[in-house]
Chains A and B, each alone.
Chain A
Amino acid sequence: MLVLSRKEGESIIIGSGEDEILVKIAKIEKDLVKLAIEAPRKISIFRKEVFDSVMESNKEAALRKQKGNQRLSLPKEALRAVQDKKTKNTSASFLQE
């Protein structure tokens, strides 16, 4: 991993040409560093801990179909509880599309 030192107001550039990303140390106050980032639209920028929590949640949610074509199902009580909460007209609205 490359480690380099920058002062407030200084920047680094990653990549070049149309893929260029500029990261500027906008402000340093106590234990908080504010970064200003300029990147092409196609580059997504995430806070890592948020990204990681979503990725982990996706992995937990993934169901791999079992052999023998067995259907994975929701716990019946959970299904009933949610069906009771969700108002009928909203749950059926898309069926008419």
Chain B
Amino acid sequence: MYMKLDQDNAITMEMPKDAHKIKLVRGLLGFSELREMEIVYDEGELPFMRLRETQQGPTKEEALEFFVVEPAGLIDNYSIRISEDDVEQLNISESDGTCLLNIVTIHNTGGGRVVTVNLVAPLLINKKTLKGKQVIIENFNEYSPRHLLYED
């Protein structure tokens, strides 16, 4: 469900058409208009991937992008509780049909750069229907929306 991005930013289609496109039921929090997005990656950038606004028409330069990462193998003991309503809304029944992505922020501070990841509100995606949602986890008290990944 991810699409490879080559160095020139052109797209290499290796997947079934549109398989990398996801529909976000409510957009992202603060960006409710972002209902259709695509997940693309560049091999050199893995495990980071890019979640970007599906580009429509000539406004290509304006497209919004977010770096995202799968938490598995990166965040130790990341154990989250999802509300029943969210599970039901996305029709998720088993964990292997689900993809979890966390949004990454690059902060440009005065001295250097800081990279954090939002562990409170991951994107939960049903791989079969490609329907996703940014959910606020029920155990939000246990994690930070700015979990430190890297600091200069």
Residues of A within 8 A of B (CB): 41, 44, 46, 50-51, 53-69, 71-75, 77-79, 81-83, 85-87, 89-95, 97
Write the nearest CB–CB distance from A78 to chain B, whole angstroms.
4
Are A54 and B73 interface neighbours, CB within 8 A? Answer: no
State the interface size on chain B (CB cutoff 8 A).
48
Residues of B within 8 A of A (CB): 1-2, 9, 26, 28-31, 45-48, 60-67, 69-70, 72-74, 85, 88-89, 99, 103-107, 113, 115, 118, 120-121, 127, 134, 136, 140, 145-146, 149-150, 152
A61-B66 contact, Cβ under 8 Å, with A50-B120, A75-B115: yes
A50-B136 contact, Cβ under 8 Å, with A69-B9, A97-B1: yes
Interface of A is mostly: helix
Residue of A nearest to B120 (CB): A54
Select A64's contact among B64, B104, B134, beta carbons within 8 Å: B64
Are A65 and B63 interface neighbours, CB within 8 A? Answer: yes
Interface of B is mostly: mixed
Are A78 and B73 interface neighbours, CB within 8 A? Answer: no
Select A58's contact among B29, B88, B127, beta carbons within 8 Å: B29
